[in-house]
């Protein structure tokens, strides 16, 4: 039996390590659990699935929805933010995020609707926090935006302000 060339063995090992490193670097940011919670919440609320959308909200935000959204529905709140000429909600995706300590993220999403808001998109802000320091569960504690990304202050820092449009709570 032939003995393996040590140069070939080292080259193969370096190649495998390179593949692992490149794969880790190219994993989409949507896999971050805080981002994933924000994306799932907005997509569920936008598509009328209150059960899933509400499961991502903090107790305070659930109370806000019950008191301030049409029929106590988070989907109704989202629907009421968008003008009818935009058509139906299609999808929201991760745009950018900024950490605020180890247990909170300010996450901006960009969404598309059927009409008029496809290319520039609709900018949405969510504040996502861990339910407690030990848990890996993230919940939405605030949202704002649902406005055209063409508008001034539609970026992450603008929508994170207390006076941002469509803020809850």
Residue 12, in any domain of the structure: no
| Residue 20 resides in a domain | no
Residue 65 lies in a domain: yes
- pTM here is 0.80
In a domain, 123, yes or no: yes
Query: What CATH number is given to the structural domain containing 85?
Result: 3.10.450.50
Pairing of strands 138-148, 89-99: unpaired
Listed as ranges, residues in the chain with pLDDT below 70 are 1, 18-31, 116-119
Domains: count for the chain: 1
Is the residue at 165 inside a domain?
Answer: no
Domain span including residue 140: 29-159
CA distances from 39 to 65, 71, 79 (A): 18, 23, 17
Distance between CA atoms of residues 39 and 57, nearest Å: 13
Does 8 map to a domain? no
Residue closest to 101 by CA, chosen among 127, 140, 137, 62: 127
Question: Residue 115: what pLDDT?
Answer: 83
| 100 domain residue, yes or no | yes
How many whole angstroms separate alpha carbon 22 and alpha carbon 124? 30
Q: What is the pLDDT of residues 19-28, one digit of tens each?
A: 666 554 444 4
Which pLDDT tens digit goes with each residue over 110-142?
Answer: 999 988 665 578 999 999 999 887 778 999 999
Residue at 113 is within a domain = yes
């Amino acid at each position: 039996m032939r003995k393996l060339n040590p140069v070939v063995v080292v080259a193969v090992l370096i190649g495998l390590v390179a593949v692992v490193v490149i794969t880790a670097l190219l994993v989409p940011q949507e896999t971050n659990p805080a981002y994933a919670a924000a994306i799932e919440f907005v997509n569920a609320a936008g598509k009328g699935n209150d059960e899933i959308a509400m499961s991502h909200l903090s107790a305070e935000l659930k109370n806000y929805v019950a008191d301030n959204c049409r029929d106590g529905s988070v989907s109704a709140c989202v629907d009421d933010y968008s003008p009818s000429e935009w058509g139906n909600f299609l999808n929201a995706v991760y745009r950018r995020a900024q950490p605020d300590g180890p247990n909170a993220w300010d996450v901006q999403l960009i969404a598309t609707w059927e009409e008029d808001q496809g290319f520039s998109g609709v900018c949405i802000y969510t504040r996502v926090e861990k339910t407690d320091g030990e848990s890996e569960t993230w919940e939405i504690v605030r949202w704002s935006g649902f406005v055209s990304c063409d508008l001034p202050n539609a970026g992450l820092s603008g929508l994170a302000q207390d006076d941002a449009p469509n803020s809850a709570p």
